């Protein structure tokens, strides 16, 4: 079925054909004509792509790193849905977006459905992920129908201007000669960009006690104090910086590389380590250490090295039953506890 229009004065013809059956994928269409002698020639020839339904989904970030500036920056991620022949799929597709950190910039078109929903048309679209204030690897997952695509990117430290705060308190007592005394204490905190493109976080507390009476578990909890009244519309973030059981905390960062001394959690982003494993492993045993740690990361590689002197030692000892009731020494040292 078709139609044909012509202009004899200009010797121009326009022909249209409808209902031409095309196979999925690439199709070559030829228009043949016959001259007065009956010889057949190819008047027109063109190639058309008839896309099928989506079979594969992929998501690719346009950059591998995103500054962790609390949502100011965002990274575009290109989403492509292709058919079995690798051509962009036809039709509309609803996507469910997931990210281990950050938040999506596009509005959720189906807020009553779990996950963040967006729509793309004809197999191609771009979504944007806004940053958080935490550094580390971010895993991104996109699902549509039976298709799934995953990718990773890294949130790196935001190179903010250097700030410093603290105090110094010096007191002197002058009585008789034996009572003359000069004492002092101080605290300092620095954070920001320094020479060499490095980011520095430094803290020192001269009066911090490093002993067994230190309330370490309460110190590690990032909780809001109930004595503070909520401030409506306040965009500030309450968090703990430069956590250290020792008097000193120092951390140098550049991109996905960092070196530090202070408190960190094994398998956490505190020491620059990826927090992806910590989120997926439900049986993981979180351990807080005070010591040195270093992290190196790029698109394909991650290396973590850390060292710490532990306050206690943990081990597993199996005491086989022998049918009697007696005392067992736990451990090999003579000072080890005895269990009955």
State the Cα–Cα distance between residues 71 and 103, nearest whole angstrom.
8
Task: Report pLDDT for 222.
Answer: 47
pLDDT in tens, 12-27: 878 787 877 888 888 8
Same-domain check for residues 300 and 175: yes
Instruction: Specify the pTM.
Output: 0.69
Same-domain check for residues 186 and 248: yes
Burial of 271 (0-12, 13-18, 19+ CB in 10 A): buried
State the Cα–Cα distance between residues 129 and 135, nearest whole angstrom.
14
Same-domain check for residues 272 and 246: yes
Same-domain check for residues 87 and 134: yes
Same-domain check for residues 252 and 266: yes
Question: Is residue 278 domain-resident?
Answer: yes
pLDDT in tens, 90-137: 889 999 999 999 999 999 998 888 889 999 999 999 999 999 988 888
Same-domain check for residues 137 and 62: yes
pLDDT in tens, 167-184: 988 887 776 666 667 788
Same-domain check for residues 25 and 67: no
pLDDT in tens, 129-162: 999 988 888 999 999 988 999 999 999 999 999 9
Residue-by-residue DSSP string for 82-131: E-TTSPBPPSEEEEEEEESSSEESS--TTTTSSSEEEEEETTEEEEEEE-
Q: Is 219 helix (H, G, I), strand (E, B) or coil?
A: helix
Question: Is residue 184 domain-resident?
Answer: yes
Within 10 angstroms of residue 93's Cβ, the number of other Cβ atoms is: 22
| Residue 43 domain boundaries | 2-50
- What is the Cβ-side half-sphere exposure of residue 274, based on CA atoms within 13 angstroms? 19
CB 302 within 8 A of CB 294: no
Tokens of 216: 């370490």
Same-domain check for residues 175 and 250: yes
Question: Is residue 226 domain-resident?
Answer: no
| Structural domain total, the chain | 3
State the Cα–Cα distance between residues 153 and 137, nearest whole angstrom.
6
Confidence of residue 269 (pLDDT cuts 50, 70, 90): very low
For 80, residues 6+ apart whose C-beta sits below 8 A from its C-beta are: 57, 58, 59, 60, 88, 123, 124
Same-domain check for residues 167 and 89: no
Closest Cα partner for 136 from 289, 265, 7? Answer: 265
Same-domain check for residues 46 and 62: no
Task: Report pLDDT for 224.
Answer: 45
Same-domain check for residues 199 and 293: yes
State the Cα–Cα distance between residues 60 and 68, nearest whole angstrom.
19
Range in 12-16, 24-28, 229-233, 295-299 the model is least confident about: 229-233
């Amino acid at each position: 079925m078709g139609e044909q229009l012509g202009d004899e004065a200009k010797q121009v013809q326009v022909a249209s054909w409808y209902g031409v059956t095309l196979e999925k994928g690439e199709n070559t269409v030829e228009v043949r004509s016959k001259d007065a002698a009956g010889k057949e020639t190819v008047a027109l020839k063109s190639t058309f792509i008839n896309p099928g339904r989506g079979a594969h989904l992929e998501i690719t970030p346009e950059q591998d790193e995103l500054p962790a500036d609390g949502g100011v920056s965002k990274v575009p991620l290109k989403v492509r849905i292709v058919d079995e022949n690798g051509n962009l799929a036809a039709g509309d597709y609803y996507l469910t977006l997931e990210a281990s950190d950050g938040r999506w910039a596009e509005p959720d078109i189906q807020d009553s459905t779990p996950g963040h929903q967006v729509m793309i048309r004809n197999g191609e679209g771009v979504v944007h992920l806004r940053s958080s204030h935490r550094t580390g690897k971010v895993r991104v997952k996109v699902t549509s129908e039976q298709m799934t695509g995953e990718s990773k990117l890294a949130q790196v430290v935001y190179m903010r201007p250097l700030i410093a705060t603290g105090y110094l308190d010096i007191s002197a007592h002058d009585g008789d000669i034996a009572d003359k005394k000069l004492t002092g204490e101080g605290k300092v905190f620095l954070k920001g960009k320094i020479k060499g493109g490095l980011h520095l976080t430094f803290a020192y507390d001269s009066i911090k006690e490093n002993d067994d009476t230190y309330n370490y578990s309460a110190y590690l909890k990032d909780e809001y104090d109930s004595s503070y009244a909520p401030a409506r519309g306040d965009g500030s973030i309450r968090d703990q910086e430069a956590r250290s059981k020792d008097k000193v905390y120092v951390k140098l960062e550049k991109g996905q590389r960092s070196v530090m001394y202070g408190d960190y959690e094994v398998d956490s982003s505190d020491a620059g380590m990826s927090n992806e494993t910590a989120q997926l492993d439900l049986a993981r045993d979180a351990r807080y250490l005070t010591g040195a740690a270093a992290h190196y990361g790029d698109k394909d590689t991650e290396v973590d090295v850390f060292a710490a002197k532990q306050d206690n030692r943990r081990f597993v000892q199996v005491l086989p039953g022998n049918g009697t009731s007696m005392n067992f020494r736990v451990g090999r040292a003579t000072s080890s506890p005895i269990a009955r």
